Amino acid sequence: MPLEPGLIGEVIHTVVETDTAAAYGSGLVAVLSTPHLIALMENAAQKAIQPFLEPGQTAVGTAIEMQHLAATPVGMQVTVRAELLTVERRRLRFAVEAWDAQERIGTCIHERVIIDRDRFMERVAQKQAG
The verdict on whether 111 is a catalytic residue reads no
CA–CA separation, 33 and 40 (whole Å): 11
The verdict on whether 68 is a catalytic residue reads yes
Catalytic residue among 68, 72, 110, 111: 68
Helices (H), 1-130: 21-24, 34-49, 117-129
The verdict on whether 14 is a catalytic residue reads no
Catalytic residue among 20, 36, 42, 83: 42
Phi-psi region of 50 (alpha: psi -120 to 50; beta: other; left: phi over 0): alpha
Catalytic residue list: 34, 42, 68
